[in-house]
Chains A and B, each alone.
Chain A
């Protein structure tokens, strides 16, 4: 297969705009990254809390079925019949302990075993049901967050996460005992990397709400970890003070614990973003649909120990604050589109804020630096096999 090439600038703070727009890179990205040696979060087990609950989704085209069996064990399967690969389950969520393929009526249990098929006497001599369970990708759980990888080469999940694991655990209420509140699902007209290149620099500038609500950006750290440049933010909680333009101040109230680190973001290579801000716990499962479209499923959670008032508060805050129509996030959605359009121009995107030496990569940043994205870009470059220009 002919390798795609793209010459990368010598400076670490420059990204060729062609990386966002060249359609010929996309198939290679799917092969090297999405179907390659990376872990991809696909769901949190609290999305399927009861025996028999299941969820289906597609990860960069690959259909997956996540199910919880009668004993409570969660497993990930390819959502394709082991006979001729008819899509097995069509519902997005539901409760079933058996999955029947309608095409030739093969029947599977929630453990993925083939438990029945009509007239096997007419099959290949020696046919044995035990040889035809549902196929499974590698998967691992981290505090209930379910990751899959399609490569045997991928290192263990703990290694993949590195230091980000600790921030991610804290973000998922410390113990991952979550309770699903619901979804906001949306498609953005943006290459997946445009969606992912959101930074810490823009928050007080793009989002007028911060100024109008006299809401100071909290003080905190931004760090990156592992060779993949996962980005983590940990910031002191800031609550808006002074006169408010909002009549319902509950939208930006904080009722939880841990005000010293009220805000966390964990962004894992390639597309996963999670955030805990005020009392919102949000896991964003993002997937490329094609080179110009990224679909994001925003899943929101309460904690299992919350009382009814807290669940209600989280529901009211989650719906209106951080999603594709949220008070302090709708503008980001528009930027994803506009970055994608604007990147169809020659040259490089040149990062400035927080860059001290364009010849070096760092791993500690200020909260409102944009340079925190650069280690991830460096990993993308190397994962794609692109050469950096000589200094």
Chain B
């Protein structure tokens, strides 16, 4: 697909918002559906502090499609009923993008995530940072995540994470 800039921007923004919506709805299959059906589809969540010191370890290290599928199992089956649930609201804003080839575009966007624990009901910021994405473009004009790294400015999380950022 050779997209014009407005078409490409629309495809990117649709995907960014679909992901925010799936996460904020706690719809883990919906979250997974935003990723490309390729073995190397991956999601990482890591403090920028680690990256800056060449430390690859992260909060979440799902470097293949199988691990993305397992994360749906963690949240929906393994951890069910053990944690204090919380609402999130993701605010995402595309800041730059670069088309690599006909099927691939690299996108940087800022995010902030508000968290409201269901028990306490007091809203606070869970994390702020950048998504470093590589997206796959399809013939129908849609986009999927091939690679996403949620790189957190927040090096000390204010609580444990259940859902991906």
Contact = CB atoms under 8 A, between A and B. Distances in A.
A92 B49 contact: yes
Given A182-B50, A186-B157, A188-B159, A251 B84 contact: no
B66 to A, nearest CB: 4
Contacts of B73: 245-246
A93 B53 contact: yes
Contact of B59 (A208, A209, A319): A319
Contacts of A295: 156
Interface residues of A, number: 39
A184 interface: yes
B60 A319 contact: yes
A325 B84 CA distance: 13
Given A331-B83, A334-B83, A338-B84, A184 B159 contact: no
B7 to A, nearest CB: 35
Given A182-B57, A209-B78, A187 B159 contact: yes
A300 B53 contact: no
Interface in B50-92: 50, 53, 55-64, 66-67, 69-70, 73-74, 77-80, 82-84
Interface in A219-270: 245-248, 251
B17 interface: no
A316 B53 CA distance: 18
B93 to A, nearest CB: 25
Contact of A315 (B47, B61, B77, B158): B61
A109 interface: no
A180 B73 CA distance: 30
B61 A325 contact: no
Contact of B160 (A209, A251, A333): A333
Given A320-B67, A334-B84, A183 B55 contact: yes
Given A208-B78, A319-B57, A334-B84, 6 more contacts: A93-B49, A187-B158, A316-B63, A324-B159, A330-B83, A331-B82
16 contacts: A182-B56, A182-B58, A183-B47, A183-B50, A185-B155, A185-B156, A186-B159, A187-B156, A208-B78, A319-B60, A324-B159, A325-B59, A325-B60, A325-B160, A334-B160, A337-B84
